[in-house]
Amino acid sequence: MLASGLSQPYYLEFIDDASENLPYTVSLIIFAFIGLTVGYYSPLGVALGKRIKSFLPKRDYHPRAFSAPGTVLLLLGTLTTFLAIAIGISGYQKDHMIASYDGLIFLTTLFWLQGGFLLSYTILTRRDIDFQTILISSFFILMSIIRAMFSGSQGAFFQ
Protein backbone atom coordinates (compact mmCIF):
# COMPACT_ATOMS: atom_id res chain seq x y z
CA MET A 1 0.00 0.00 0.00
CA LEU A 2 2.76 2.41 0.93
CA ALA A 3 4.89 1.63 -2.14
CA SER A 4 1.93 2.04 -4.47
CA GLY A 5 1.15 5.49 -3.13
CA LEU A 6 -2.36 4.56 -1.98
CA SER A 7 -1.47 5.13 1.66
CA GLN A 8 0.10 8.34 2.95
CA PRO A 9 0.46 7.98 6.74
CA TYR A 10 1.42 11.04 8.77
CA TYR A 11 4.79 9.67 9.86
CA LEU A 12 6.12 9.95 6.31
CA GLU A 13 6.64 13.64 7.06
CA PHE A 14 9.36 12.65 9.55
CA ILE A 15 11.39 10.86 6.83
CA ASP A 16 13.70 12.83 4.55
CA ASP A 17 13.12 11.78 0.92
CA ALA A 18 10.87 8.82 1.75
CA SER A 19 10.78 7.49 -1.82
CA GLU A 20 14.54 6.87 -1.68
CA ASN A 21 15.11 6.10 2.01
CA LEU A 22 12.27 3.61 2.60
CA PRO A 23 13.45 1.01 0.05
CA TYR A 24 16.98 1.36 1.45
CA THR A 25 15.61 0.81 4.97
CA VAL A 26 13.67 -2.28 3.87
CA SER A 27 16.81 -3.75 2.30
CA LEU A 28 18.76 -3.09 5.53
CA ILE A 29 16.04 -4.86 7.53
CA ILE A 30 16.15 -7.83 5.16
CA PHE A 31 19.94 -8.11 5.53
CA ALA A 32 19.65 -7.79 9.32
CA PHE A 33 17.15 -10.67 9.47
CA ILE A 34 19.38 -12.77 7.24
CA GLY A 35 22.30 -12.09 9.58
CA LEU A 36 20.14 -12.89 12.60
CA THR A 37 19.06 -16.19 11.05
CA VAL A 38 22.64 -17.14 10.18
CA GLY A 39 23.70 -16.26 13.72
CA TYR A 40 21.00 -18.42 15.27
CA TYR A 41 21.52 -21.48 13.12
CA SER A 42 25.29 -21.56 12.66
CA PRO A 43 27.54 -23.42 15.11
CA LEU A 44 29.66 -20.29 15.39
CA GLY A 45 26.65 -18.40 16.78
CA VAL A 46 26.04 -21.10 19.39
CA ALA A 47 29.69 -21.12 20.50
CA LEU A 48 29.82 -17.33 20.62
CA GLY A 49 26.59 -17.24 22.61
CA LYS A 50 27.94 -19.69 25.19
CA ARG A 51 31.12 -17.65 25.55
CA ILE A 52 29.23 -14.35 25.99
CA LYS A 53 26.88 -16.01 28.51
CA SER A 54 29.78 -16.63 30.87
CA PHE A 55 30.57 -12.88 31.03
CA LEU A 56 27.03 -11.57 31.45
CA PRO A 57 25.50 -11.32 34.93
CA LYS A 58 22.51 -13.54 35.60
CA ARG A 59 19.54 -11.44 36.70
CA ASP A 60 16.20 -12.75 37.80
CA TYR A 61 13.99 -9.91 38.97
CA HIS A 62 10.81 -10.41 40.95
CA PRO A 63 7.76 -9.08 39.04
CA ARG A 64 7.06 -6.54 41.81
CA ALA A 65 10.36 -4.83 40.90
CA PHE A 66 8.85 -3.72 37.59
CA SER A 67 5.97 -1.70 39.03
CA ALA A 68 7.99 1.49 39.68
CA PRO A 69 9.80 1.56 36.29
CA GLY A 70 6.54 0.71 34.52
CA THR A 71 4.75 3.58 36.27
CA VAL A 72 7.55 6.01 35.39
CA LEU A 73 7.52 4.94 31.72
CA LEU A 74 3.72 5.22 31.59
CA LEU A 75 3.82 8.73 33.05
CA LEU A 76 6.66 9.85 30.76
CA GLY A 77 4.87 8.51 27.70
CA THR A 78 1.65 10.25 28.65
CA LEU A 79 3.40 13.55 29.42
CA THR A 80 5.31 13.50 26.13
CA THR A 81 2.04 12.76 24.35
CA PHE A 82 0.61 15.95 25.85
CA LEU A 83 3.77 17.79 24.77
CA ALA A 84 3.47 16.38 21.24
CA ILE A 85 -0.15 17.53 21.04
CA ALA A 86 0.75 20.97 22.38
CA ILE A 87 3.47 21.59 19.79
CA GLY A 88 1.45 20.03 16.97
CA ILE A 89 3.28 16.76 16.27
CA SER A 90 0.33 14.45 16.94
CA GLY A 91 -3.39 14.81 17.31
CA TYR A 92 -5.76 16.54 14.91
CA GLN A 93 -3.77 19.79 14.63
CA LYS A 94 -0.63 18.47 12.95
CA ASP A 95 1.97 21.08 12.08
CA HIS A 96 3.16 20.98 8.48
CA MET A 97 6.63 22.23 9.37
CA ILE A 98 8.63 19.38 10.91
CA ALA A 99 11.63 20.29 13.07
CA SER A 100 14.65 18.05 13.57
CA TYR A 101 13.68 17.01 17.11
CA ASP A 102 10.03 16.17 16.32
CA GLY A 103 10.85 12.54 15.50
CA LEU A 104 12.51 12.13 18.88
CA ILE A 105 9.51 13.61 20.67
CA PHE A 106 7.20 11.32 18.71
CA LEU A 107 9.27 8.26 19.70
CA THR A 108 9.18 9.23 23.38
CA THR A 109 5.39 9.20 23.22
CA LEU A 110 5.73 5.42 22.81
CA PHE A 111 7.17 5.03 26.33
CA TRP A 112 3.64 4.39 27.54
CA LEU A 113 3.61 1.11 25.57
CA GLN A 114 6.72 -0.12 27.36
CA GLY A 115 5.35 1.00 30.72
CA GLY A 116 2.04 -0.67 29.94
CA PHE A 117 3.83 -3.91 29.14
CA LEU A 118 5.77 -3.81 32.42
CA LEU A 119 2.65 -3.00 34.45
CA SER A 120 0.67 -5.73 32.69
CA TYR A 121 3.48 -8.17 33.45
CA THR A 122 3.44 -7.27 37.14
CA ILE A 123 -0.33 -7.61 37.32
CA LEU A 124 -0.65 -10.87 35.37
CA THR A 125 2.17 -12.71 37.15
CA ARG A 126 0.68 -12.23 40.61
CA ARG A 127 -1.31 -15.06 42.10
CA ASP A 128 -3.36 -12.91 44.43
CA ILE A 129 -5.21 -9.61 44.18
CA ASP A 130 -3.96 -7.18 46.79
CA PHE A 131 -4.10 -3.42 47.22
CA GLN A 132 -1.00 -2.81 45.07
CA THR A 133 -2.48 -4.84 42.20
CA ILE A 134 -5.72 -2.85 42.32
CA LEU A 135 -3.77 0.43 42.53
CA ILE A 136 -1.55 -0.44 39.54
CA SER A 137 -4.54 -1.66 37.51
CA SER A 138 -6.54 1.49 38.25
CA PHE A 139 -3.61 3.74 37.40
CA PHE A 140 -2.93 1.85 34.17
CA ILE A 141 -6.56 2.03 33.05
CA LEU A 142 -6.85 5.72 33.96
CA MET A 143 -3.69 6.66 32.07
CA SER A 144 -4.77 4.64 29.04
CA ILE A 145 -8.13 6.43 28.94
CA ILE A 146 -6.51 9.85 29.34
CA ARG A 147 -3.99 9.10 26.61
CA ALA A 148 -6.72 7.85 24.27
CA MET A 149 -8.79 10.99 24.85
CA PHE A 150 -5.92 13.26 23.84
CA SER A 151 -4.41 11.18 21.04
CA GLY A 152 -6.52 12.67 18.28
CA SER A 153 -7.65 9.28 17.02
CA GLN A 154 -10.84 7.38 17.67
CA GLY A 155 -8.98 4.10 17.14
CA ALA A 156 -6.76 4.80 20.18
CA PHE A 157 -9.48 3.49 22.49
CA PHE A 158 -8.93 0.02 21.03
CA GLN A 159 -5.14 -0.09 21.62
The amino acid that residue 30 corresponds to is I
Residue 85's nearest CA partner among 12, 156, 159, 158 is 156
Q: What are the pLDDT tens digits along the chain (159 aa)?
A: 666 667 777 777 777 777 788 888 889 999 999 998 888 888 887 888 889 988 888 888 888 888 889 889 988 888 887 777 777 766 555 556 666 667 777 778 788 888 888 888 888 888 888 888 888 888 878 877 776 776 655 555 555
The C-alpha atoms of residue 152 and residue 129 are separated, in whole angstroms, by 34
